[in-house]
């Protein structure tokens, strides 16, 4: 048992990661829904999932009229992880768009996920958002594309603080064999405005076959310590703000979203202009924008939790706190600038009649304004005996 381990033995166990292990492979086909047909293996504590999309995209006839800001990561529309927890019953810890899942690590680390086009790493999450030129992607040509998504199941902290997230690892004793992954795929309309361009998808490095999606699991080693961890579960879900609420300008604060009364580590407001002409079930941003909202506030009972006056100043503060280059259109409010999830905002302790919400001015009116909120929260009381 853990109580019999020496300090040296404990130090030899904590923080060891076994790297990505192959779990499943499936073909990518446009507008398909995929249920991974086996439960996620929890024979060791699970720290994150890793997805890789590999394929060839041929753009012919004409250059694209416009490439969407997050074009390639839109090819997965949604990533959902569900399961039944011993304490919290049926829950959906992860329900994110492919673009949001791709961007999330970049909000809290200097290095985010990666896209490779014809063998070169390319960046489309900066200010401005989007690839530097359509010669990178969007003009007629052949593009061998590899996209990586890291989906942490724990709060993201600097590498030096990773021991603080051990209680959030997924363990067999909590989940059993219930964890299931669901994926929704987009089509070429998620890439942007085609104009008269045509698209052909095939296997990586070939004009035949289909693109492939690979799922990997990343495990930590806890050994006997696993039995002495009091677990908690991070929940990270995308919620769309009703578009009709944000198309007109407003110089006064208005409610964007009621927030759940749970321990809250991070709140993200993402904003931009929605892409027109996408297929049914496909929703993407044409452009990302920082100028739609102003004086965005986390509010409890009409009082600001963080008294933000200027979104640009708060965004710089957030980027400085995490040594991160925050992308255009992404405004995170973090209660983990301590680098410890235990400093989460204790919304679970608010009174029954209290109102926990995200409010903002709408600075720029546009019929295409579009925004989402991700409230990262956790259930339980993380601790190690």
Q: Look at residue 77 and tell me if it is in a domain.
A: yes
Looking at residue 298, its pLDDT comes to 97
- Asked if pLDDT for residue 9 goes beyond 70, the answer is no
CATH number at residue 179: 2.60.120.730
CB burial of 37-51 (b: ≥16 within 10 Å; e: otherwise) equals: eeebebebbbbbbbb
Phi and psi at residue 310, in whole multiples of 5°?
-135, 120
Over residues 363-370, mean pLDDT: 97
Query: pLDDT for 175-195, tens place per residue?
Result: 999 999 999 999 999 999 999
- Asked if pLDDT for residue 122 goes beyond 70, the answer is yes
Looking at residue 385, its pLDDT comes to 44
Spatial separation of the C-alpha atoms in residues 231 and 170, rounded to whole Å: 8
Of residues 345 and 4, more confidently modeled: 345
- Asked if pLDDT for residue 26 goes beyond 50, the answer is yes
Enter the pTM of the model.
Answer: 0.94
Q: Look at residue 10 and tell me if it is in a domain.
A: yes
Query: Do 359 and 297 meet the contact criterion of CB atoms below 8 Å apart?
Result: yes
Domain extent, residue 38, equals 6-384
Token pair of 250 as six digits: 């407003």
Over residues 20-30, mean pLDDT: 97
Q: Look at residue 1 and tell me if it is in a domain.
A: no
**Least confident residue range of 200-204, 225-229, 260-264, 280-284:** 225-229
**Least confident residue range of 217-231, 272-286, 293-307, 354-368:** 217-231
How many C-beta atoms lie closer than 10 Å to residue 341's C-beta? 25
Q: Look at residue 227 and tell me if it is in a domain.
A: yes
Q: How many domains does the chain have?
A: 1
Spatial separation of the C-alpha atoms in residues 352 and 358, rounded to whole Å: 18
Looking at residue 11, its pLDDT comes to 59
- Asked if pLDDT for residue 1 goes beyond 50, the answer is no
């Amino acid at each position: 048992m853990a109580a019999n381990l020496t300090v040296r033995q404990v130090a030899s166990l904590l923080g060891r990661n076994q790297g990505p292990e192959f779990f499943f492979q499936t073909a990518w086909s446009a507008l398909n829904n995929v249920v991974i047909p086996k439960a996620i293996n929890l024979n060791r504590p699970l720290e994150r999932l890793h997805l890789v999309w590999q394929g060839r995209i041929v753009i012919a006839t004409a250059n694209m009229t416009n490439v969407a800001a997050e074009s390639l990561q839109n090819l997965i529309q949604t990533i959902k992880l569900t399961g039944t927890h011993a304490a919290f019953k049926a829950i959906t810890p992860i329900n994110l768009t492919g673009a949001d899942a791709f961007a999330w690590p970049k909000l809290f680390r200097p290095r985010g996920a990666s896209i490779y086009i014809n063998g070169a790493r390319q960046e489309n999450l900066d200010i401005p958002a989007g690839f530097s030129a359509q010669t990178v992607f969007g003009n007629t040509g052949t593009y061998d594309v590899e996209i990586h998504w890291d989906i942490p199941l724990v709060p993201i902290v600097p590498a030096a603080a990773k021991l603080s997230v051990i209680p959030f690892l997924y363990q067999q004793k909590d989940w059993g064999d219930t964890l299931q992954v669901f994926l929704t795929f987009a089509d070429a309309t998620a890439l942007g405005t085609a104009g008269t361009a045509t698209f052909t998808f095939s296997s990586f490095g070939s004009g035949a076959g289909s693109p492939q999606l690979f799922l990997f699991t990343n495990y930590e080693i806890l050994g006997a310590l696993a039995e002495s961890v009091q677990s908690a579960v991070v929940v990270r879900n995308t919620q769309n703000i009703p578009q009709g609420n944000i198309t007109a300008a407003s110089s006064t604060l208005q409610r964007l979203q009621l927030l759940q009364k749970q321990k809250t580590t991070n709140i993200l407001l993402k904003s931009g202009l929605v892409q027109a002409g996408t297929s049914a079930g496909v929703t993407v941003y044409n452009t990302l924008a920082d100028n739609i909202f102003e004086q965005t506030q986390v509010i409890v009972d009409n009082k600001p939790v963080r008294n933000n006056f200027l979104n640009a100043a708060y965004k710089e503060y957030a980027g400085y706190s995490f040594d991160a280059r925050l992308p255009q259109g992404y405004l995170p409010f973090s209660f983990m600038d301590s680098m410890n999830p235990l400093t989460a905002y204790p919304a679970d302790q608010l009174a029954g009649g209290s109102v926990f919400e995200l409010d903002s001015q709408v600075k720029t009116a546009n019929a295409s304004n579009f925004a989402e909120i991700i409230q990262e929260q956790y259930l339980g009381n993380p601790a190690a005996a």
